[in-house]
Structure 1
Amino acid sequence: MFPKDHKFTEKKLVCAWISQNFVKCECHTEILEETGKQYLDNLVDWGFFEEFESHYVMHDLMHDLAQEVSSNECATLDILHYKKISPSIRHLSIITSDYDEEPYNFPSEKFENKLKSMGSLQKLRTLMFFGENSTMLLRSLHTLWKGTKRLRLLRIYVTAADINSTFSLLNPYHLRYLEFIVVPTREMHGCLDVINTCIPQALTQCYHLQVLDASSPDHTDLVVPPPTGMNNLINLRHIISRDKVDSTIASVGNLTSLQELTFKVQAAGNFNIRQLGSMNELITLGISQLENVKTKEEAKSARLIDKEHLKVLSLLWNDNIMRPEPTEEKTRDDVLDGLEPHQNLKHLQLSRYSGSTYSSWLASKVTSLQVLHLENCREWRIVQSLEMLPVLRKLKLIRMWNLMEVSIPSFLEELVLVNMPKVEKCVGTYGLDLTSHLRVLVLKDCPQLIEFTLFHSNYFHAKQKSCFPSLKKLSIGHCHHIM
């Protein structure tokens, strides 16, 4: 279905499989995305895909073989290698990318004639376009869609002017996966204009939609807020957008199937933190503007402690008060207590938190935590008891202005301490457990750091070949007492 050398990403590929109902979980507690990732890992092991740092590629020979064995159900329309398209085809891709560099030579009439010759593709479940010039085929596409009633996956290029008229023709009932790429139509002084566009109102009728991919190129910005009715798409699992459209959906709490969410707390009922209460399928959650949460009970209404699938949590305050009153500090501490997550959480980030208390749940209850990132928590004086987190592997402390002491646990793989002018001690249990797994060590702008266990003179033994056998990155700057 895809052009040769296409760079697949894990998320989009697995989501496409889910939209086609290819992914089956053997246990009701399993997550479809995790099962799909296992499918992908198996295909890599079997040589079907080659894995690179951030993407996957199929070898040309495997691509040719896959096309051959799937020819009864899958087809590609390419002006250079045309094959007759059977009316019983289920999955179709139209490739025009060969003309992306020469748009004025694009043979739109030939493509249109081939589209018309296909007739009605009543069994079509997948339709994908590759190449910006495919926007010239939108009129012919309207004819094709009239007979298409079972489309589950659509990847399409549209112009800002055509976006509403194009999507109004969709049959919304079966559509599960929609990726639309907005193409610019004007150029000024050799540079593409920035185009402002919006999510079409027609998409709010696609009640079975699971994936909305609006991650348009850099020259396109989505207009927010999205259309009214987005909160009716209760089967939506992923919103992929460069512009964080999910943070502007009113009453987003209705979308109980969402896997990732960026949420900005506001006083209005449609955006208060209670909206998160029933969203128990979340895997990644970022909550900002937490200064708008005033009480512990209000914080508890988010029910983070019930979200057993939640793996990544970011909590952000935008409070600029340098020295809050004692009563305000108590309020901040109560709110943080109320935001206690489920013990399965693996990655936690706290930013710009102005409370003074180190929350009890942080070091004693979130026992699966692997990454802890604290940034600009300016009233904290000490970070300790991290040895209670047995699988903690990454610790990042950045701009902790008043922090004076850090207790580091064993078996860390990454330790980052940056811009902490008052910190004096960074201590942990002596022994190779503290350094044998360390791969990244960054110490910057900690001028008062005097006691640092990792560099203690009594810690090393003469017979040791290496005290940091796994170290890959070392960066130390403006830490005068330990150099």
Structure 2
Amino acid sequence: MVAKEIKAATSDEEKSKEELPYSSSTSRVASTQIITTPQIGHKFNLLPESIKRCFYYSCLFPKRYEFEEEKLIQLWIAGGLVLPDRYLKEDKGRDIFVKLLWNSLFQRSSLVYPNGIPRYKVPDDVYDLVQQSCPDVFVTTADREPTATTLHSLLLLHHSNDTAIFKSLYESEMLRTLILLNEENHRSRIRQVPPDLFLRLRFLSAVDLSGTCIMELPTSIENLKHLAFLDLSYTPITILPDSICSLNHLLTLNLRYCSELIELPNSISKMLSLRHLDLEGARQLTSMPPSIGKLTNLRKLGTFVVGREEGCRIEELRNLNKLEGSLSIINLENVMDENGAKRVRLRGKKYLRKIEFQWSGVEWGRKAENVLNNLRPPSQVRELKILHYGGSTFPEWLSFSNLTTIILIGCGGCTHLPSLGELPNLTSLCIEEMHALKEINNYGLRKFGIPEFPRLMKLELDGMHELRKWWEIEVGDMPRLHKLTITDCPKLTTLPMLEWLPSLRHLEVTLCPKISSLPDGAPPNLRSLIIAESPKLEKRCRKGKGEDWHKIARVPDIWIHYKQISGIKTEHSQEQTSGSDLGVETQ
């Protein structure tokens, strides 16, 4: 595979002898640098000039720094390193990223981050070699001081809150990329950007201030006429200056998890070049700015806050057909009528993969049902989340075959679950606070002889205060269920037949005081059991004495009322327990 990619990359170089705009020094970067270590050097030296430039850019970050693919590609584009051709720049950037990954110049991180987005890094040996040959146009301040020829710089802040640190950049008047990064990924103490910074560095095309403590931007940002990328994510910024709307070349404005942001500039609809306006997690917003539907080039939005004023209503989503990735539509109680939801034509936004519908106020009855019914997502959606829905029934469209994850929270008026058992790709199902639901069954909807939930691996029930019974797990149902969690179901009296769940590894029952016993026969492959705040069940499962102990005695890892008790040692359990260990109970 590597050999094929190198051959393809070599062919690409013969076809394309691009040069970057603005400066000839960047276009000469790769051609004047050769890495000689046999294996790594051979891969790198065969790559086209354009891919080498992107790779050098990636090495601005400190050793072992882990980056997201999408953000790095956006930085490449803003820095002028991905040149236009017959493909979209984002698609060409992805192609470059894949080539670097397949040539082992990038590697995927083994860490799992809370947002679930994979991250990547430059391998240590590759990083060390490239740093020896990295040209002066790329500078990390921990290694070298920027010079007049520096075009891309990463400023390590070393826990400093002194804005004088920016003065090291003033000589680099042609600087295009400025990235602020605190050591060890801690939040920077920098609270403001010097007002004259954007007056001196007028050619900046990418500015990354994410993770800093800045609460406002200087109005002088309007001087950055070439700015294409601005990242303010994870900052306490509360408002953006109106002058930002004069940045006609801005492609990316990242405001992800700006939890203090209360509004966007009213004139943001004039920024017609915007392709990525990431508002995910900006939950203080109460409405969108007027006429955001004019930004028809948007590929990323993240969150749309429904307002009641003209130009702020849900219909503004109508023409945003290029949206991709995830989209949360919140404050759905502000939809004026069901036709407003229908006019969105959400079904036609075929690049969306994750959708969230959220009501922030209580809205019961037919209006909520009609709104949700008319917000039918595209069939390509894989993850669906519905919060605080006030209808009594779910729409029929809740049966897309591509769905892998469904989360239903606070749907307090629903007395029945939707028919989800036939979904062929559903792997995760979470149901919380559905207070009107009294029984879990399929009400005769099961097709004879066809097992339900064929790929479900994770099932969570939480805060189901009226749930009393759970019926009808039959032989063959949920054959891949790996984890079952039942929490805060105070009226639930029985559990279904768990022995028919051959893949179940983890079972947790918490805050279920009326469950008086385990069903006959434990899951054959159960490896972990947690029982807490469920007095009757805890008593029945007391080690060696409880009436249900024989059902679970072979489970390697058992926790009862927050104490670990020892099961028998099996080939699957290598952990040794001791009476001196905290929270471990022995006979």
The answer to whether the superposition gives a TM-score over 0.5 is yes
Correspondence for 1:419: 463
The alpha carbon displacement at 1:115 in A equals 4.5
Correspondence for 2:265: 227
Output the amino acid matched with 1:401: H
Q: Does 1:276 align with 2:334?
A: no
Counterpart among 81, 93, 106 of residue 48 in structure 1: 106
CA distance in 2, matches of 1:21, 1:8: 19
Output the amino acid matched with 1:411: R
CA distance in 2, matches of 1:447, 1:434: 25
Correspondence for 1:359: 395
Correspondence for 1:202: 243
Q: Does 1:310 align with 2:369?
A: no
Counterpart among 131, 155, 161 of residue 67 in structure 1: 131
The alpha carbon displacement at 1:274 in A equals 0.7
The alpha carbon displacement at 1:21 in A equals 5.8
Query: What does the per-residue CA deviation read over 1:427-456, in whole Å, with 9 as the maximum and x for residues that have no partner?
Result: 556335513x2232111233454665442x
CA distance in 2, matches of 1:217, 1:352: 23
Output the amino acid matched with 1:271: C
Output the amino acid matched with 2:331: Q
Tell me the TM-score normalized by structure 2: 0.63
Residue 303 and residue 198 in structure 1: after superposition, are their counterparts in 2 closer, same or farther (change >3 A)?
Answer: same
CA distance in 1, matches of 2:95, 2:457: 25
Residue 425 and residue 390 in structure 1: after superposition, are their counterparts in 2 closer, same or farther (change >3 A)?
Answer: farther
Residue 397 and residue 23 in structure 1: after superposition, are their counterparts in 2 closer, same or farther (change >3 A)?
Answer: farther
Structure number having the greater strand percentage: 1
Correspondence for 1:385: 419
Correspondence for 1:349: 385
C-alpha contact 1:160 1:182 (8 A) present in aligned 2 = no
CA distance in 2, matches of 1:152, 1:255: 21
Counterpart among 45, 57, 65 of residue 6 in structure 1: 65
Correspondence for 1:441: 484
Per the alignment, in what secondary structure is the counterpart of residue 253 of structure 2? strand
Counterpart among 202, 207, 212 of residue 154 in structure 1: 207
CA distance in 2, matches of 1:205, 1:15: 20
C-alpha contact 2:222 2:246 (8 A) present in aligned 1 = no
The alpha carbon displacement at 1:382 in A equals 1.7
Correspondence for 2:343: 301
C-alpha contact 1:115 1:144 (8 A) present in aligned 2 = no
Output the amino acid matched with 2:154: S
The alpha carbon displacement at 1:343 in A equals 0.8
The alpha carbon displacement at 1:353 in A equals 1.7
Correspondence for 2:448: none
C-alpha contact 1:354 1:378 (8 A) present in aligned 2 = yes
Query: What does the per-residue CA deviation read over 1:190-241, in whole Å, with 9 as the maximum and x for residues that have no partner?
Result: xxxxx765212221011221222346888xx44x322221122232313357
Q: Does 1:170 align with 2:208?
A: no
CA distance in 2, matches of 1:140, 1:279: 37
Query: What does the per-residue CA deviation read over 1:229-256, in whole Å, with 9 as the maximum and x for residues that have no partner?
Result: 1122232313357534775322222223
Residue 373 and residue 23 in structure 1: after superposition, are their counterparts in 2 closer, same or farther (change >3 A)?
Answer: farther
Q: Does 1:287 align with 2:334?
A: no
Correspondence for 1:90: 151
CA distance in 2, matches of 1:300, 1:145: 47
Max Rg structure: 2
Per the alignment, in what secondary structure is the counterpart of residue 370 of structure 2? helix
Per the alignment, in what secondary structure is the counterpart of residue 421 of structure 2? helix
Q: Does 1:39 align with 2:88?
A: no
Per the alignment, in what secondary structure is the counterpart of residue 379 of structure 2? coil
Residue 117 and residue 331 in structure 1: after superposition, are their counterparts in 2 closer, same or farther (change >3 A)?
Answer: closer
CA distance in 2, matches of 1:25, 1:309: 22
Residue 83 and residue 337 in structure 1: after superposition, are their counterparts in 2 closer, same or farther (change >3 A)?
Answer: closer
Output the amino acid matched with 2:329: I
Query: What does the per-residue CA deviation read over 1:283-304, in whole Å, with 9 as the maximum and x for residues that have no partner?
Result: 3221222223253322101111
Structure 2 unmatched ranges of 5 or more? 1-59, 114-118, 183-187, 443-451, 519-587
Per the alignment, in what secondary structure is the counterpart of residue 128 of structure 2? helix
Counterpart among 216, 227, 237 of residue 276 in structure 2: 237
Residue 411 and residue 31 in structure 1: after superposition, are their counterparts in 2 closer, same or farther (change >3 A)?
Answer: farther
The alpha carbon displacement at 1:159 in A equals 8.6
Residue 62 and residue 139 in structure 1: after superposition, are their counterparts in 2 closer, same or farther (change >3 A)?
Answer: farther
CA distance in 1, matches of 2:99, 2:515: 47
Per the alignment, in what secondary structure is the counterpart of residue 442 of structure 1? strand
Output the amino acid matched with 2:412: R
CA distance in 1, matches of 2:338, 2:468: 33
Correspondence for 2:402: 368
Q: How many residues align?
A: 432
Q: Does 1:469 align with 2:522?
A: no
Residue 369 and residue 31 in structure 1: after superposition, are their counterparts in 2 closer, same or farther (change >3 A)?
Answer: farther
CA distance in 1, matches of 2:381, 2:343: 18
C-alpha contact 1:384 1:406 (8 A) present in aligned 2 = no
Residue 84 and residue 203 in structure 1: after superposition, are their counterparts in 2 closer, same or farther (change >3 A)?
Answer: closer
C-alpha contact 2:198 2:220 (8 A) present in aligned 1 = yes
Q: Does 1:252 align with 2:292?
A: yes
Per the alignment, in what secondary structure is the counterpart of residue 297 of structure 1? helix
C-alpha contact 1:14 1:37 (8 A) present in aligned 2 = no
Per the alignment, in what secondary structure is the counterpart of residue 97 of structure 2? helix
Output the amino acid matched with 1:126: T
CA distance in 1, matches of 2:89, 2:403: 20
Output the amino acid matched with 2:222: S
Output the amino acid matched with 1:145: L
The alpha carbon displacement at 1:160 in A equals 6.4
The alpha carbon displacement at 1:275 in A equals 0.9
CA distance in 2, matches of 1:454, 1:45: 50
Per the alignment, in what secondary structure is the counterpart of residue 401 of structure 1? coil
Per the alignment, in what secondary structure is the counterpart of residue 280 of structure 1? coil
Per the alignment, in what secondary structure is the counterpart of residue 387 of structure 1? coil
C-alpha contact 1:15 1:33 (8 A) present in aligned 2 = no
CA distance in 2, matches of 1:292, 1:128: 39
The alpha carbon displacement at 1:66 in A equals 2.6
Query: What does the per-residue CA deviation read over 1:2-30, in whole Å, with 9 as the maximum and x for residues that have no partner?
Result: 233434234432332343465689997x9
The alpha carbon displacement at 1:402 in A equals 1.6
Identity %: 22
| Structure possessing the higher relative contact order (Cα contacts under 8 Å, 6 or more residues apart) | 1
CA distance in 2, matches of 1:136, 1:402: 50
RMSD over aligned Cα, in angstroms? 3.9
Residue 66 and residue 431 in structure 1: after superposition, are their counterparts in 2 closer, same or farther (change >3 A)?
Answer: farther
Residue 383 and residue 161 in structure 1: after superposition, are their counterparts in 2 closer, same or farther (change >3 A)?
Answer: closer
Query: What does the per-residue CA deviation read over 1:254-285, in whole Å, with 9 as the maximum and x for residues that have no partner?
Result: 22314133223222112211111111222322
Residue 137 and residue 175 in structure 1: after superposition, are their counterparts in 2 closer, same or farther (change >3 A)?
Answer: closer
The alpha carbon displacement at 1:390 in A equals 1.4
CA distance in 2, matches of 1:41, 1:17: 15
Residue 449 and residue 34 in structure 1: after superposition, are their counterparts in 2 closer, same or farther (change >3 A)?
Answer: farther
CA distance in 2, matches of 1:76, 1:208: 26
Correspondence for 1:145: 201
Q: Does 1:409 align with 2:453?
A: yes
CA distance in 1, matches of 2:369, 2:375: 10
